Amino acid sequence: MKNYMKVSFSAKVENVVFTRTVALGFLVNLDLEIGILNEIKTAISEAITNAIVHGYQNDETKTVDLIMYYDDTKITMEVIDYGIGIENIEKAKTPLFSSKVEEERAGLGFTIMDVFSDELIVESELGKMTKVVMVKNYHESREH
């Protein structure tokens, strides 16, 4: 691991923009292509929004953790909430599935995270936590 950071913040939707800025600031020394940076910030936004809306059901008194680290070839991003958990991860990852149908949510959060990551791992324990791990290979994509 070449570098590591962790930030904890209130589970407020307005903090999604803050975390995107923190993530990009953390990665600035890697001199990444703008397309890769856009994919990373979009994937992080989706994971954090899911934590706030689904994990904590918009309870702003809760805290979300964003952990990022990188080496010479990949960037790893972890978004952790200590909320209600996910009952069926595979079902939740199905495109267009949403547990918030009444809010007219698109149900594409995990799909977007998966498309913009080279690896997506979701761990969850009901009533305890959900951790979304996204890995982005960055030297590979520069060779194309």
- Catalytic residue ranges: 46, 50, 105
Q: Which of 10, 78, 12 is nearest to 40 (CA)?
A: 78
Tokens of 47: 């994971």
Q: What is the DSSP letter of 51?
A: I
Residues in a beta bridge with 120: 134
Residue 88: partners with Cβ closer than 8 Å, 6 or more residues away: none
Q: Count CB atoms within 10 A of the CB of residue 66.
A: 24
